[in-house]
Protein backbone atom coordinates (compact mmCIF):
# COMPACT_ATOMS: atom_id res chain seq x y z
CA UNK A 1 0.00 0.00 0.00
CA UNK A 2 1.48 3.35 -1.00
CA UNK A 3 1.37 6.66 0.87
CA UNK A 4 -1.54 8.01 -1.16
CA UNK A 5 -3.80 5.05 -0.38
CA UNK A 6 -2.80 5.18 3.28
CA UNK A 7 -3.65 8.87 3.59
CA UNK A 8 -6.96 8.32 1.77
CA UNK A 9 -7.86 5.58 4.25
CA UNK A 10 -6.97 7.89 7.17
CA UNK A 11 -9.24 10.62 5.79
CA UNK A 12 -12.07 8.13 5.29
CA UNK A 13 -11.58 6.80 8.84
CA UNK A 14 -11.81 10.30 10.33
CA UNK A 15 -14.94 11.05 8.29
CA UNK A 16 -16.58 7.84 9.50
CA UNK A 17 -15.64 8.58 13.11
CA UNK A 18 -17.20 12.05 12.89
CA UNK A 19 -20.34 10.63 11.29
CA UNK A 20 -20.58 7.94 13.97
CA UNK A 21 -20.31 10.54 16.74
CA UNK A 22 -23.03 12.68 15.09
CA UNK A 23 -25.36 9.70 14.71
CA UNK A 24 -24.75 8.66 18.31
CA UNK A 25 -25.65 12.15 19.59
CA UNK A 26 -28.80 12.31 17.45
CA UNK A 27 -29.88 8.81 18.52
CA UNK A 28 -29.83 9.93 22.15
CA UNK A 29 -31.92 12.99 21.37
CA UNK A 30 -34.38 10.92 19.35
CA UNK A 31 -34.75 8.36 22.14
CA UNK A 32 -35.37 11.14 24.67
CA UNK A 33 -38.03 12.69 22.45
CA UNK A 34 -39.74 9.33 21.91
CA UNK A 35 -39.86 8.80 25.68
CA UNK A 36 -41.30 12.30 26.13
CA UNK A 37 -44.02 11.67 23.54
CA UNK A 38 -44.93 8.31 25.08
CA UNK A 39 -45.17 9.86 28.54
CA UNK A 40 -47.29 12.73 27.16
CA UNK A 41 -49.56 10.16 25.51
CA UNK A 42 -49.99 8.27 28.78
CA UNK A 43 -50.66 11.48 30.72
CA UNK A 44 -53.15 12.68 28.08
CA UNK A 45 -54.93 9.34 28.36
CA UNK A 46 -55.05 9.81 32.14
CA UNK A 47 -56.47 13.33 31.71
CA UNK A 48 -59.17 11.98 29.39
CA UNK A 49 -60.07 9.33 31.95
CA UNK A 50 -60.28 11.93 34.71
CA UNK A 51 -62.43 14.20 32.57
CA UNK A 52 -64.80 11.32 31.87
CA UNK A 53 -65.09 10.87 35.65
CA UNK A 54 -65.99 14.56 35.99
CA UNK A 55 -62.61 15.79 37.26
CA UNK A 56 -60.92 18.66 35.44
CA UNK A 57 -57.17 17.97 35.48
CA UNK A 58 -55.85 21.49 36.11
CA UNK A 59 -52.17 22.06 36.57
CA UNK A 60 -52.60 22.45 40.34
CA UNK A 61 -54.68 19.26 40.59
CA UNK A 62 -52.15 17.32 38.52
CA UNK A 63 -49.27 18.51 40.70
CA UNK A 64 -51.01 18.02 44.03
CA UNK A 65 -52.86 14.76 43.43
CA UNK A 66 -51.10 12.98 40.57
CA UNK A 67 -47.53 14.19 41.07
CA UNK A 68 -47.35 15.49 37.49
CA UNK A 69 -45.13 18.54 37.18
CA UNK A 70 -45.58 21.63 35.04
CA UNK A 71 -43.64 20.39 32.03
CA UNK A 72 -45.34 16.98 31.96
CA UNK A 73 -48.72 18.72 32.22
CA UNK A 74 -47.81 21.03 29.31
CA UNK A 75 -46.74 18.14 27.10
CA UNK A 76 -49.91 16.18 27.94
CA UNK A 77 -52.09 19.19 27.13
CA UNK A 78 -50.17 19.64 23.87
CA UNK A 79 -50.93 16.00 23.03
CA UNK A 80 -54.63 16.60 23.75
CA UNK A 81 -54.56 19.70 21.55
CA UNK A 82 -52.92 17.73 18.75
CA UNK A 83 -55.64 15.09 19.05
CA UNK A 84 -58.28 17.87 19.11
CA UNK A 85 -59.58 16.63 22.43
CA UNK A 86 -58.57 19.56 24.65
CA UNK A 87 -61.81 21.55 24.63
CA UNK A 88 -64.06 18.61 23.86
CA UNK A 89 -66.67 17.28 26.29
CA UNK A 90 -66.64 13.73 27.57
CA UNK A 91 -64.35 11.21 25.94
CA UNK A 92 -65.98 8.89 23.44
CA UNK A 93 -64.68 5.68 21.86
CA UNK A 94 -63.26 7.65 18.94
CA UNK A 95 -61.03 9.57 21.38
CA UNK A 96 -58.75 6.54 21.70
CA UNK A 97 -58.13 6.48 17.96
CA UNK A 98 -57.63 10.26 17.87
CA UNK A 99 -55.08 10.11 20.68
CA UNK A 100 -53.19 7.23 19.06
CA UNK A 101 -53.14 9.09 15.73
CA UNK A 102 -51.83 12.20 17.51
CA UNK A 103 -49.01 10.13 19.03
CA UNK A 104 -48.08 8.74 15.61
CA UNK A 105 -48.16 12.26 14.12
CA UNK A 106 -45.94 13.60 16.91
CA UNK A 107 -43.39 10.84 16.38
CA UNK A 108 -43.40 11.35 12.61
CA UNK A 109 -43.16 15.15 12.74
CA UNK A 110 -41.89 16.49 16.10
CA UNK A 111 -42.79 20.11 15.44
CA UNK A 112 -46.54 19.41 15.30
CA UNK A 113 -46.45 18.73 19.04
CA UNK A 114 -44.08 21.59 19.83
CA UNK A 115 -46.32 24.28 18.37
CA UNK A 116 -49.17 23.10 20.59
CA UNK A 117 -47.26 23.62 23.82
CA UNK A 118 -48.71 26.28 26.09
CA UNK A 119 -47.26 29.75 25.68
CA UNK A 120 -44.87 29.37 28.60
CA UNK A 121 -43.90 25.85 27.56
CA UNK A 122 -42.40 26.92 24.26
CA UNK A 123 -39.34 28.36 25.97
CA UNK A 124 -38.55 24.79 27.08
CA UNK A 125 -37.94 23.83 23.46
CA UNK A 126 -34.28 24.77 23.23
CA UNK A 127 -31.67 23.89 20.67
CA UNK A 128 -30.29 21.30 23.10
CA UNK A 129 -33.38 19.08 23.12
CA UNK A 130 -34.68 19.77 19.62
CA UNK A 131 -35.18 16.81 17.31
CA UNK A 132 -34.39 17.40 13.66
Question: What is the widest separation between alpha-carbon atoms in the chain?
Answer: 78
Question: What is the distance between the alpha carbons of residues 94 and 9, in angstroms, rounded to a whole number?
Answer: 57
pLDDT in tens, 64-99: 998 998 889 999 999 999 998 887 766 677 888 899
Question: What is the distance between the alpha carbons of residues 51 and 69, in angstroms, rounded to a whole number?
Answer: 18
Angle in degrees, 0-180, between the axes of helices 3-52 and 70-82, rounded to the nearest 10: 80
* 4 pLDDT tier (thresholds 50, 70, 90): confident
pTM metric for this prediction? 0.71
Amino acid sequence: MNEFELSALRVELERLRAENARLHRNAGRQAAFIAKVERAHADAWLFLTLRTAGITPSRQYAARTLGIGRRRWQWAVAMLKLARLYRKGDADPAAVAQLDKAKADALATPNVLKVRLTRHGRDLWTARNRVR
